[in-house]
Amino acid sequence: MNLDADDLVLFARVAEAGSFSRASERCGLPKATVSRRIGALEAKLGERLMTRTTRQLAITEFGERILEHARRLLEETEAASALAQHRQATPQGTLRVSLPPGFLDELELVPFLLEFAERHPDVRLELDISPRRVDVIAERFDLAVRVAPRLPDDATLVARRLIELEQGLFASPAYLARAGRPSSPEQLLAGHAALRLVSSDGEPHPWRLARGGERWEGLPDGPIAANSIGLMSTLARHGMGIAGLSARYAASLVARGLLERVLPEWCLPTMTVWCVTPGRRLLPRRTSVFVAMLEAQLQRPLPAPR
């Protein structure tokens, strides 16, 4: 015998309401549908669950015994619904997030993490800081933040664009006083040191500069190559060479006189911050709240330089 749990729950609701009319109103179903489903349940069970007259509804002896099980099902269903509603209203549980190295430092997002933890104490953050492209579904991540001009197509994932970051070249005033200020991209190759950012395969990214319709590509030699934007920034501040950084991140360092823009009319390719989530899952409240707060933080205007 293959019973439908929904029909048992409906039977419990009819018994609770005391009539098919009131049960249909509470459940949002036509009265005829309620009557038909209870009749089909009785046919499967082989006995009547209730007797119906024009004035009253009486539960049979067999119906009382079945009603015990139906009420337990109803209670469990309502408990599960209440739990889901509470979790949607109050973010909680573990949130697994993959972040690229230097992301929090580069965009000064540590205060954002502190604010999120304070506002949502029932959420436990698990952060994976790694340059590798994690498998969001297989490794059970709730979301992955990726910084790239574009992402490969993947039907199992949903990518949301959070912000586009202008990129430029920056160096310390001490370095520029020592090595000179280039007035064209070609002069970068004449005695200037590049702090080279490398990809996951160890190959340095060339500088692809653009000014209007003009394009230039090259990469000066340099003393250090690494896969950390944060390290590149620190080395640039200490006069080790020229680094490619996001203008948003460098703005506070420029305002404090620690860095200057090199060739300000020329820009590196714009980088996009993406939030990637499993495409076939209903996002838990903790995930949607984290994404919304992160996007709001990234879109927040930078403070004016002092």
Angle at 100 between CA 164 and CA 136, to 5 degrees: 100
User: Where residue 200 falls among pLDDT bands split at 50, 70, 90?
Assistant: low
**List of domains in the chain:** 5-89 (1.10.10.10), 90-306 (3.40.190.290)
In this predicted model, what pLDDT tens digit does every residue of 6-23 receive, in sequence order? 899 999 989 988 888 888
First to last CA, the chain: 77
DSSP helix/strand/coil, 242: strand
User: Where residue 86 falls among pLDDT bands split at 50, 70, 90?
Assistant: low
User: Where residue 95 falls among pLDDT bands split at 50, 70, 90?
Assistant: very high
Sign of the C-alpha dihedral computed for residues 7, 13, 16 and 22 taken in this order: negative
Q: Give the burial class of 89: count Cβ atoms within 10 A of its Cβ; 0-12 exposed, 13-18 middle, 19 or more buried.
A: exposed
State residue 244 phi and psi, 5-degree precision.
-90, 120
DSSP helix/strand/coil, 274: strand
Shortest CA distance to 222 belongs to which of 207, 240, 203? 240
In this predicted model, what pLDDT tens digit does every residue of 129-170 receive, in sequence order? 887 888 888 898 999 998 887 887 787 888 899 999 899 999
Per cent of the chain over pLDDT 70 is 93
Q: What pTM does this model have?
A: 0.64
Range list of β-strands (E), 38-156: 50-52, 57-59, 93-99, 123-129, 143-148
Contact 91, 122 (CB under 8 A): yes
Please state, in angstroms and rounded to a whole number, the distance separating the CA atoms of residues 282 and 40.
33
* Confidence at residue 123, expressed as pLDDT on a 0 to 100 scale: 93
Q: Give the burial class of 67: count Cβ atoms within 10 A of its Cβ; 0-12 exposed, 13-18 middle, 19 or more buried.
A: buried
